[in-house]
Amino acid sequence: MQAYMLFLSAFGFIPVKALDKCQSQKFSDFARALGPVLSPGASINFPGTDEFANATTRFSAYGAPDFAVTVDVATEGDVDNVLPVSASAHPLLGPGLGGGHGWNQGRYGLGLDQIVEANLVLGDGSRIVVSEDSHADLFWGLRGAGHNFGIYTFTQDKLEALFGLLDSFVADGAQPVELRHWVTFMRVPEIDPIHAVLATWIVYEGTPERASPYTSKMEALGPATTTFNTTAYPGIVVLMGMDRGAVSCLENGDHVLRFPIDVRGYNLTAHRAAYTIFDEVSGAYPALSGATMLNEGYSVRAVQAVPADNTAYPDRFNNLLLSASFRVKPNAAAEDATGGMDMDQIAIEAGLKIRRTLFEGGGSPDLYTYVNYGLGLETLENYYGYEDWRLARLRELKAKYDPDRKFSFYAPIE
């Protein structure tokens, strides 16, 4: 098992949330006074500076908080000094705290399964070490509460054949650790000017010969385009179009609205219906033409090897993460002359409808929505699980470690 230490200073900055203009001014004055108590490597950054802009740039600007000032901390001691003066602090929340679902989860488990110890500063400024041996209760809560390569593009008429094949790879959790698939519904007019296509990545860890049982079946389906590449692990993000600067990682003020749902397998009837909703809405509004729907199919072997109650992460039993994802320009309605319609609202209605359709086809009574992708419309059970004891345990932790609710900007445990 890989292990790494998680230090607060590694998060780089503590944003301080502004309440109103007067309090902003008070904060600015306070932050100036804070200067002398911080370590020499720390800095206090105000709006209008590059440092402030970088520290507050977000993947999605939807529902973003306002910040009056950011403090770039250099030592853990700086964190103690900053936190007690902030009215509210953004969670120090890396993807690992919400799950850390990813390419290598079949081999190593979730990102949060790699955490062996964390140095935390609580809302009251006290500093604690959290591990199996120290504050084991909070250690549990912290974890849950963030090749060879073929790219195929299929036209939509192949949807049932493609997802039927992928479902056989998933095999209800038995997908080999070497194999990962990823399908994105997206509009590529050069391939299909009318309907969204199914862009499919097969990422196989091993030789082309070992991958051929999977790749030959993909080819037999008759893709519109096929590309093969070989890369080392760090190259995957480039081939997936997820490196820094790629459109999916832009931090340009767009609203990114995602509608995650975990499912055990692909239900072809429900998947076709979800595709149709996606295709219609992304085709009808130019402002939504950059929409995607992600179908993330990684092995779950090491994820499911960890007992369900070991960490706060509630959903180790579903095999796939599906999420409609709409990238909306905040001023899209005006630009597109769409009659002033609220594009966020149109995307939200379509996204919820897609999720409901997938949920109804999933045959499960409980909707699980990966907390790292959530929009904020979800329930606590959707994020943190349906067993009464889970939420009770998280509420106890909240009362014990964050009684003043300083870390409650997103998906707060109430």
Ligand X SMILES: *[C@@H]1O[C@H](CO)[C@@H](O)[C@H](O)[C@H]1NC(C)=O
- Contacts with ligand X by CB under 6 A lie at 50-51, 54, 227-229, 238-239, 267, 269-270, 360-361, 363
DSSP E strands, 265-361: 292-298, 320-328
Nearer to ligand X, 13 or 214 (CB): 13
In angstroms, the CA 315 to CA 172 distance is 14
Nearer to ligand X, 91 or 361 (CB): 361
Nearer to ligand X, 15 or 361 (CB): 361
Cβ-contact 17, 409 below 8 angstroms:
yes
In angstroms, the CA 123 to CA 293 distance is 38
Q: How many CA atoms lie within 13 A of 412 on its CB side?
A: 14
Cβ-contact 300, 175 below 8 angstroms:
yes
Assigned token pair, 412? 């707060």
Cβ-contact 285, 346 below 8 angstroms:
yes
- Closest distance between ligand X and the C-beta of residue 89, in Å? 21
Nearer to ligand X, 130 or 270 (CB): 270
Nearer to ligand X, 177 or 224 (CB): 224
- Closest distance between ligand X and the C-beta of residue 43, in Å? 10
- The H or E element spanning position 150 is strand 148-154
DSSP E strands, 223-291: 225-230, 255-263
CA distances from 398 to 142, 163, 266, 268, 405 (A): 11, 41, 36, 41, 8
Report the residue closest to ligand X, judged by CB. Answer: 361
Nearer to ligand X, 45 or 311 (CB): 45
Cβ-contact 112, 100 below 8 angstroms:
yes
- Closest distance between ligand X and the C-beta of residue 230, in Å? 9
Residue with tokens 């950059």: 290
- Closest distance between ligand X and the C-beta of residue 400, in Å? 37
Assigned token pair, 223? 């893709």
Nearer to ligand X, 69 or 312 (CB): 69
Q: Looking at this protein, which amino acid is placed at residue 108?
A: Y
- Closest distance between ligand X and the C-beta of residue 229, in Å? 4
Q: Which pairs count as long-range contacts for 26-32, CB under 8 Å and 24+ apart, including other chains?
A: 27/68, 27/69, 27/87, 28/68, 28/69, 30/85, 31/69, 31/71
- Closest distance between ligand X and the C-beta of residue 301, in Å? 24
- Closest distance between ligand X and the C-beta of residue 388, in Å? 27
- Closest distance between ligand X and the C-beta of residue 227, in Å? 4
Nearer to ligand X, 130 or 322 (CB): 322
Nearer to ligand X, 245 or 307 (CB): 245
Q: Of 117, 106, 244, 245, whose CA–CA distance to 178 is shortest?
A: 106
What torsion, rounded to 10 degrees, do the Cα atoms 75, 79, 85, 91 define? 140
- Closest distance between ligand X and the C-beta of residue 362, in Å? 7
- Closest distance between ligand X and the C-beta of residue 132, in Å? 37
Nearer to ligand X, 270 or 346 (CB): 270
